[in-house]
Chain A
């Protein structure tokens, strides 16, 4: 062993000249562990930011873990931490952030500020982002397989550390922070995160048109926004907010994105029947995904009618046989189904010429025909088995389509009546 050590010592001499960084690593960390001081930590921070500890970062994954590992080994870990924090504060004070910052160095500085939040950290980053940016600056950490991340977004995330919640009273720093977030709304890549933060801080509400419009056009932004809504302080409005977001997803045909994100957060979506009223057209439909549960907590998705209407196509309305035994008693239910069947026929045949025969063929097997009450100026469903008639209500667009279909089949006076009903005039 002695022989080996002597040989190794000789090699050390060569190595020291050839590889000063390796030698300085062991020298400086050994000294730091034995006698931590602000000066030694200041030097270690410079080595770290200079990339001379990348080998260690690949193992532990993050600059903060490297720092903590040195505390853990230190003879006096409390003093080591205290002197590190002072050294970091001074390091950040002397840092002059610029747009041309080296990505690897910037990542380490941001990581340290995020983990240990030196007082000067907010001012340095905010000061830079107020007038400039780090757009397009990407970095792959040593532990990754080379997939880079966006350092501008990371800088925004580091600022979040200083304002996890809004302060009780607004301060100049907070106003600057909100200003920076608001500025990010101009950029697609950062709008989702900025909106989520502004919602979280209650600087924007869930029904802000900017929020809803963005969800419709950028459904992936829900990955940032939904977690915020599911957090405690917004839970009271979660039903309405998620309902509105879901409606936007329906419009954009991206409900699968919404459902996947909600599922990822451990929430389950279950079906439930629900009655809705749309422009006087009442219906009971089976919605596929109206409820969310988590750990016994239940949030109803308060979907607006414009959102739920899409689900109507999936249902199969039907008449219960007993309704026809006493139609007077069930005329409302029968009218609902008649209205629904006609509306569905219109949807099914959308884009093609629709004949009256096609529109009403689903009603024929039940002995139901549509009639016009010229005196009351309304449409009626007539049940041939009992001679009972019940009024029907259709939204204006549906009436217009009925008019078109009717004109080819009925005498002029009926046409006039329907036209009057459709345009709101009297016959």
Chain B
């Protein structure tokens, strides 16, 4: 085990850097951030929030309303008349969008994915009988971007700030029309509270009145750079969403981005370098 002895948990360091730059770049959320950090230490007793179990997150939720119901940032404006995209997995769609048709089908996610893939034949699908059901994730929000190339899902996901080991084989690309979101004021600029448990997050500078968040592009072989625009959405009606089943195989991940994982210490070190650049005083120009 040549590397194991040198492996250490760089996530603690990331957490500290993120706290520092979060406070300075988004002072409006400073108090909530401090309350969450205190709860993390005193209630849960872990050094960083990037590997919390569900019950631990619920403890944080109970102590902080802004964490329980996210999307408290500035209203976002989505440019153009296109779509917002989100890469998710079939398990999320089964449990949070109810795509399985029979109780037993729910127990076989790969079967559900295969059925949807066969139904889709490359076309975007609507959710069956959506009624007034809504889609959302933890903290009652979900994370989206307005740039996604479906022909290269792995690259697009990395540009959106997702490590390859977070992507499942049985995945689905979701989309929502920008006009629906702009009309209903459902999209927000992500905050440090929304991203408290996210290892990868670029806190935008409130002082610049950003109209969108920005991802960290993890596809780089060299130093990390800013990626694409990102948004958090409040619970959104399933009737406004479409999805496309996509497969992300082991081979696709290995082809160019085998090491782009949050288990790889060099990737975490690059994140640390990136976060250090965010600690510097607010610069002039730019929106983020």
Q: Which residues of A contact B (CB under 8 A)?
A: 1, 4, 8-9, 11-12, 15, 18-19, 22-23, 25-31, 33-35, 51, 54-56, 58-62, 65, 68-73, 77, 114-115, 141-145, 147, 149-150, 153-154, 156-158, 160, 193, 196, 223-224, 227, 260-261, 264-266
Distance in angstroms between the alpha carbons of A58 and B89 in the assembled complex: 11
Pair B168/A73 contact, Cβ less than 8 Å: no
24 pairs of residues in contact across A and B, judged by CB atoms under 8 Å? A4-B13, A8-B10, A8-B13, A18-B45, A18-B47, A22-B46, A22-B51, A54-B53, A55-B52, A60-B168, A62-B168, A65-B169, A72-B164, A73-B164, A73-B264, A145-B96, A149-B106, A149-B107, A150-B103, A157-B104, A223-B101, A224-B104, A227-B101, A264-B128
Tell yes or no: B102 within 8 A of A by CB. Answer: yes
B48 to chain A, nearest CB (A): 8
Q: Which residues of B contact A (CB under 8 A)?
A: 1-4, 7-10, 12-13, 45-47, 51-54, 89-92, 95-96, 101-110, 119, 128-129, 164-170, 250, 253-254, 258-259, 261, 263-265, 272-273, 276
Q: Which residues of A contact B91 (CB under 8 A)?
A: 60-62, 65, 141, 143
Distance in angstroms between the alpha carbons of A73 and B8 in the assembled complex: 18
Give the nearest-CB partner of A197 in chain B: B104
B104 to chain A, nearest CB (A): 5
Give the nearest-CB partner of B128 in chain A: A264
Give the nearest-CB partner of B118 in chain A: A266
Give the nearest-CB partner of B111 in chain A: A157
Known: A12-B8, A141-B95, A264-B101. A60 touches B166 (CB 8 A): yes
Pair A61/B104 contact, Cβ less than 8 Å: no
Q: Which residues of B contact A9 (CB under 8 A)?
A: 8
Pair B129/A55 contact, Cβ less than 8 Å: no
Interface of A is mostly: helix
Pair A73/B119 contact, Cβ less than 8 Å: no
Known: A73-B258, A145-B95. A193 touches B104 (CB 8 A): yes
A54 contact from B54, B109, B259, B264, Cβ within 8 A? B54
Pair B102/A224 contact, Cβ less than 8 Å: yes
Give the nearest-CB partner of B169 in chain A: A68
Distance in angstroms between the alpha carbons of A224 and B128 in the assembled complex: 17
Give the nearest-CB partner of B2 in chain A: A34
A73 contact from B1, B51, B106, B165, Cβ within 8 A? B165
Distance in angstroms between the alpha carbons of A224 and B89 in the assembled complex: 24
Distance in angstroms between the alpha carbons of A150 and B167 in the assembled complex: 26
Distance in angstroms between the alpha carbons of A31 and B272 in the assembled complex: 23
* Additional pairs, 18, CB under 8 Å, beyond known A30-B7, A69-B166: A1-B273, A4-B13, A8-B13, A9-B8, A18-B47, A22-B47, A26-B8, A26-B263, A30-B1, A31-B4, A34-B1, A34-B2, A60-B165, A61-B90, A154-B107, A158-B107, A193-B102, A193-B104
Distance in angstroms between the alpha carbons of A227 and B119 in the assembled complex: 14
Distance in angstroms between the alpha carbons of A145 and B276 in the assembled complex: 35
Pair B165/A34 contact, Cβ less than 8 Å: no
A30 contact from B3, B52, B105, Cβ within 8 A? B3
Distance in angstroms between the alpha carbons of A115 and B90 in the assembled complex: 14
Pair B7/A153 contact, Cβ less than 8 Å: no
Give the nearest-CB partner of B88 in chain A: A61
Distance in angstroms between the alpha carbons of A35 and B263 in the assembled complex: 15
Q: Which residues of B contact A26 (CB under 8 A)?
A: 7-9, 263, 265
Pair A69/B165 contact, Cβ less than 8 Å: yes
B213 to chain A, nearest CB (A): 20
Pair B250/A29 contact, Cβ less than 8 Å: no
Distance in angstroms between the alpha carbons of A227 and B102 in the assembled complex: 9
Pair A153/B103 contact, Cβ less than 8 Å: yes
Q: Which residues of B contact A196 (CB under 8 A)?
A: 104
Q: Which residues of B contact A160 (CB under 8 A)?
A: 108
Pair B104/A156 contact, Cβ less than 8 Å: yes
Q: Which residues of A contact B259 (CB under 8 A)?
A: 73
Q: Which residues of A contact B254 (CB under 8 A)?
A: 72, 77
B114 to chain A, nearest CB (A): 12
Known: A54-B53, A55-B52, A142-B53. A27 touches B7 (CB 8 A): yes
Known: A26-B263, A264-B101. A65 touches B164 (CB 8 A): no
Pair B95/A143 contact, Cβ less than 8 Å: yes
Pair B92/A143 contact, Cβ less than 8 Å: yes
Distance in angstroms between the alpha carbons of A144 and B259 in the assembled complex: 29
Pair A27/B4 contact, Cβ less than 8 Å: yes
Known: A30-B263, A114-B108, A227-B102. A1 touches B276 (CB 8 A): yes
Known: A61-B90, A65-B169. A15 touches B12 (CB 8 A): yes
Q: Which residues of A contact B102 (CB under 8 A)?
A: 193, 223-224, 227
Distance in angstroms between the alpha carbons of A360 and B177 in the assembled complex: 62
Q: Which residues of A contact B13 (CB under 8 A)?
A: 4, 8
Q: Which residues of B contact A193 (CB under 8 A)?
A: 102-104
Q: Which residues of B contact A58 (CB under 8 A)?
A: 53-54
Q: Which residues of B contact A72 (CB under 8 A)?
A: 164-165, 250, 253-254, 258
Distance in angstroms between the alpha carbons of A224 and B107 in the assembled complex: 13
B40 to chain A, nearest CB (A): 12
Distance in angstroms between the alpha carbons of A33 and B265 in the assembled complex: 12
Q: Which residues of A contact B272 (CB under 8 A)?
A: 1, 4
B268 to chain A, nearest CB (A): 9
Q: Which residues of B contact A153 (CB under 8 A)?
A: 103-104, 107
A73 to chain B, nearest CB (A): 5
B8 contact from A8, A31, A70, A150, Cβ within 8 A? A8
Q: Which residues of B contact A15 (CB under 8 A)?
A: 9, 12, 47
Q: Which residues of B contact A34 (CB under 8 A)?
A: 1-4
Pair A8/B95 contact, Cβ less than 8 Å: no
Q: Which residues of B contact A12 (CB under 8 A)?
A: 8-9, 12
Pair A61/B89 contact, Cβ less than 8 Å: yes
10 tightest A-B CB contacts, nearest first: A61-B91, A144-B95, A55-B51, A157-B107, A69-B165, A31-B1, A223-B102, A65-B168, A72-B253, A31-B4
Distance in angstroms between the alpha carbons of A18 and B108 in the assembled complex: 38
